[in-house]
């Protein structure tokens, strides 16, 4: 009997979840302050558990011979996703078989720069010229949230041979030779490699040196000449002013990642050192050049004649304005606010674009608890773009704010904090949001519940539904658990110092968890009926099926409405200058997803500065999201605002899906 009471509800719960899952069933599923319920100034009860361990995410989507995650350039493995499809076009010598490489990974691995474009079907590349000497442009297509660039022009122009080997795409390039290495005339910060054809190349940085790898041999006389060079001719290991330093009028590594800026992190040194490499080596039709500098040059592959040009000339922070997909536009710009200048990344999203939807995202496993890197969450959901969402309790990795999807509350709002609501027609609204749930026992008394599926610990009654997970474990030392099925109390138990207890949440009901005011338990005798009512404030948001809560609210109707204290945020959180993320709406309904880190030569924005930045970008409504180390802006398999390795885990986010 006991086994039936446990196993049958669990089976019902699993079936219920499968039936209501809105996404395809095969989709598996830093600085500010510690992400706990201290955000609101709420004194927590005695903690029972150590830092929770996240459950494993559902396995990655199955891969076939038509896609993989590695390429091999002349047997040199690179982590670049690829995709194969078949085209009806036969005007190219490569035939109907097409191969695409993931755009950001391809740009990083080959040191290309994605050039601004208004055409999402074509991506120009800075760093490789076509046969006529013009900038090469590759066809682009989005598949399962990843944008692939068709390499057929490379295959035709450069003679690449491509072969699928399991999950690896093997690319073989024709034999090529470097015939000379020389400074560019009159340009002491520019180096030219003369070649007999264009081949793949890659620039990497390690410590105080950078290495250029070129898929070509080198003329023996050129090689011998460099072996005699003195190391004193190398570039300086530490320029006077480095755009990747953390002081002065500069951008830090956390502000703009090297893997996205590629070769555009240029030295601003006024010195004129030699550009000769400190070491040159060539083996098996592959040449490596090591330079004694930590600065990455801008690299261009040019034709007529064929040559690679490495340029360390002074440069500025690069801007981006790229229509990545229909309805999704990526911008990277430097925004001036008084005397401060903030580099920021943003996505401008048209919710009225056919085939585009925006949804709350989280781990979507068997339980609501758990934190993961945003990129890991959205890649498993095949989201094309995303930004981190609301706050969470770090002790148990549970949400601290509203999550509503397809009209169903996954987690309730807290502390009347700011939230964004939207529907699938493109309507968007922001407000301070509360959910008033009232339970009425047989005595007729109305008891207002303190929270729904929330990690915020407070006295009184809170409600936990199957969306919380299969079971519930106590947050505090003393709790009374009231089990409700079919609107009737079926059990009541008192738990004292039992943090590992697991109470089953019925699939056809919920748990009422009583903390502190334990005398209220007398109002819920076994078998007594219960009536549950709920009311969303403001009521106009009832017609919006999707809601994410964070806070504080920044803008409404174009005006700054920042009230951190009114939304129960601590002063340190409000005033601190740190990395921030925000979501905004423009007058035409365009949604902005924005991430901003350090200002030039300083720290990140305060909340007031963030509100002013969003206002300057054209937002009429704006909401602060969980920032600091959680700040993450994702597009097509890559974080735009920071290296993947520096992003903290998050509980939830806002995802953009394309079909």
User: Phi and psi of 49, rounded to 5°?
Assistant: -115, 150
User: Residues 347-386: pLDDT tens digits?
Assistant: 999 999 999 999 999 988 889 999 999 999 999 999 999 9
Quick check: 39 pLDDT over 60? no
| Residue with more model confidence, 291 or 7 | 291
User: Residues 208-267: pLDDT tens digits?
Assistant: 889 999 999 999 888 887 765 533 343 333 333 332 333 332 222 333 232 233 222 223
- pTM reported for the whole predicted model: 0.81
Half-sphere exposure of 473 (CA within 13 A, CB side): 18
Average pLDDT, stretch 58-76?
73
Residue 42 class from Cβ within 10 Å (0-12 exposed, 13-18 middle, 19+ buried)?
Answer: middle
Distance CA 40, CA 462 (A): 18
Q: Residue 470 gets which letter from DSSP? A: S
Point out the least confidently predicted range of 178-182, 272-276, 409-413: 272-276
Contact present, 629 and 636 (Cβ < 8 Å):
no
∠ CA 481-485-487, nearest 5°, is: 105
Q: How confident is the model at residue 14 (pLDDT cuts 50, 70, 90)?
A: very low
Distance CA 418, CA 400 (A): 12
Distance CA 286, CA 300 (A): 18
Q: Which residue spans of the chain are classified as CATH 2.60.120.1140?
A: 434-537
Residue 245 pLDDT: 30
Quick check: 515 pLDDT over 70? yes
Residue 31 pLDDT: 32
Contact present, 410 and 404 (Cβ < 8 Å):
yes
Cβ neighbours of residue 383 under 8 Å, at least 6 residues apart? Answer: 145, 361, 634, 655, 656, 657
Average pLDDT, the chain: 83
Distance CA 308, CA 218 (A): 13
Contact present, 470 and 497 (Cβ < 8 Å):
no
Burial 415-438 (b: 16+ CB within 10 A, else e): bbbbbbbbeeebebbbbbbbbebe
Residue 265 pLDDT: 29
Residue 302 pLDDT: 84
Q: Which residue spans of the chain are classified as CATH 2.60.40?
A: 177-311
Average pLDDT, stretch 382-409?
97
Q: DSSP secondary structure string, 187-238? A: EEEEEEEEESS---EEEEEETTEEEEEESSEE-HHHHHHHHT--GGGSPPSS
User: Looking at the DSSP assignment, which residues form a beta bridge with residue 485?
Assistant: 488, 509
Quick check: 460 pLDDT over 60? yes
Cβ neighbours of residue 220 under 8 Å, at least 6 residues apart? Answer: none
What architecture does CATH give domain 434-537? Sandwich (2.60)
Point out the least confidently predicted range of 154-168, 217-231, 243-257, 623-637: 243-257
User: Looking at the DSSP assignment, which residues form a beta bridge with residue 656?
Assistant: 358, 385
Q: DSSP secondary structure string, 282-332? A: EETTEEEEEES-SPPPEEEEETTTTEEEEE--------EEEEEETTEEEEE
| Residue with more model confidence, 51 or 111 | 111
Distance CA 430, CA 550 (A): 11
Q: Is the domain covering 177-311 a CATH 2.60.40 domain?
A: yes
User: Phi and psi of 568, rounded to 5°?
Assistant: 65, 40
Residue 54 pLDDT: 52
Quick check: 152 pLDDT over 80? yes
Q: Given phi > 0 = left and psi -120 to 50 = alpha, else beta, which region is 301?
A: beta
User: Phi and psi of 474, rounded to 5°?
Assistant: -60, 145
Distance CA 40, CA 37 (A): 6
Quick check: 447 pLDDT over 70? yes
Distance CA 421, CA 435 (A): 14
Q: DSSP secondary structure string, 348-398? A: EE-TTSTTEEEEEEE--SSSS---B-HHHHHHHHT-SEEEE--EEETTTTE
CA neighbor of 581 nearest in space, from 548, 539, 614, 556: 614
């Amino acid at each position: 009997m006991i086994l039936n009471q446990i196993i049958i509800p669990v089976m019902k719960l699993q079936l219920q979840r499968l039936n209501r899952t809105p996404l395809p069933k095969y989709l598996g599923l830093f600085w500010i302050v510690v992400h706990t319920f201290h955000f609101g100034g709420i004194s927590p009860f005695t903690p029972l558990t150590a830092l929770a361990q996240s459950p494993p995410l559902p396995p990655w989507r199955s891969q076939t011979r038509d896609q993989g995650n590695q390429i091999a350039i002349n047997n040199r493995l690179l982590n670049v996703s690829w995709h194969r499809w078949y085209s009806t076009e036969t005007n190219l010598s490569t035939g109907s078989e097409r191969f695409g490489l993931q755009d950001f990974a391809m740009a990083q691995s080959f040191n290309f720069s994605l050039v601004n474009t208004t055409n999402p079907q074509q991506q120009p590349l800075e760093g490789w010229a076509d046969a006529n000497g013009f900038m090469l442009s590759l066809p682009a297509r989005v598949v399962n949230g990843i944008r692939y660039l068709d390499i057929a022009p490379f295959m035709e122009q450069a003679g690449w041979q491509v072969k699928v080997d399991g999950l690896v795409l093997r690319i073989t390039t024709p034999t090529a030779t470097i015939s000379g290495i020389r400074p560019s005339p009159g340009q002491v910060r520019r180096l030219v490699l003369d070649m007999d054809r264009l081949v793949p190349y890659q620039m990497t940085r390690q410590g105080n040196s950078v290495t250029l790898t070129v898929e070509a041999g080198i003329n023996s006389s050129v090689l011998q000449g460099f072996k005699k060079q003195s190391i004193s001719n190398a570039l300086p290991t530490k320029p006077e002013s480095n755009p990747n330093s953390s002081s002065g009028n500069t951008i830090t590594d956390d502000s703009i990642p090297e893997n996205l800026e590629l070769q555009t992190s240029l030295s601003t040194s006024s010195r004129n050192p030699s550009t000769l490499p400190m070491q040159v080596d060539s083996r098996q039709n592959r040449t490596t050049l090591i330079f004694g500098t930590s600065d990455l040059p801008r690299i261009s592959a040019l034709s007529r004649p064929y040559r690679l040009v490495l340029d360390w000339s002074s440069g500025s922070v690069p801007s981006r304005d790229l229509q990545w997909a229909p309805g999704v536009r990526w911008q990277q710009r430097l925004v001036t606010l008084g005397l401060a200048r903030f580099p920021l990344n943003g996505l401008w999203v048209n919710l009225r674009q056919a085939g585009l939807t925006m949804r709350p995202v989280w781990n979507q496993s068997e339980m609501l608890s758990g934190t993961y890197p945003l990129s890991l969450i959205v890649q498993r959901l095949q989201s094309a773009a995303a930004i981190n969402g609301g706050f969470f309790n770090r002790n148990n990795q549970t949400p601290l704010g509203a999550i509503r999807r397809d009209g169903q509350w996954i987690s309730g709002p807290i502390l009347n904090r700011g939230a964004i609501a939207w529907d699938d027609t493109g309507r968007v609204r922001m407000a301070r949001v509360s959910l008033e749930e009232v339970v009425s026992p047989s005595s007729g008394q109305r008891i207002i519940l303190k929270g729904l599926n929330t990690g915020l610990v407070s006295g009184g009654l809170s409600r936990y539904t199957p969306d919380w997970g299969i079971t519930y474990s106590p947050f505090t030392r003393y709790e009374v658990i009231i089990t409700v099925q079919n609107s009737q109390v079926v059990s009541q138990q008192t738990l004292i110092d039992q943090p590992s207890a697991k109470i089953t949440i019925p699939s056809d009901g919920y748990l009422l968890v009583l903390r502190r005011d334990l005398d209220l338990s007398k109002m819920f005798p076994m078998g007594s009926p219960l009536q549950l009512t709920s009311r969303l404030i403001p009521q106009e948001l009832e017609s919006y099926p999707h809601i994410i809560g964070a806070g504080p609210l920044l803008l409404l109707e174009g005006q700054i409405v920042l009230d951190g204290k009114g939304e129960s945020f601590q002063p340190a959180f409000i005033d601190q200058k740190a990395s921030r993320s925000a979501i905004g709406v423009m007058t035409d309904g365009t949604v902005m997803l924005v991430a901003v880190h350090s200002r030039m030569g300083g720290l990140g924005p305060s909340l007031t500065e963030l509100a002013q930045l969003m206002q300057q970008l054209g937002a009429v409504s704006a909401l602060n999201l969980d920032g600091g180390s959680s700040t993450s802006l994702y597009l097509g398999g890559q974080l735009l605002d920071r290296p993947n390795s520096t992003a903290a885990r998050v509980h939830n986010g806002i995802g953009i899906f394309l079909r």
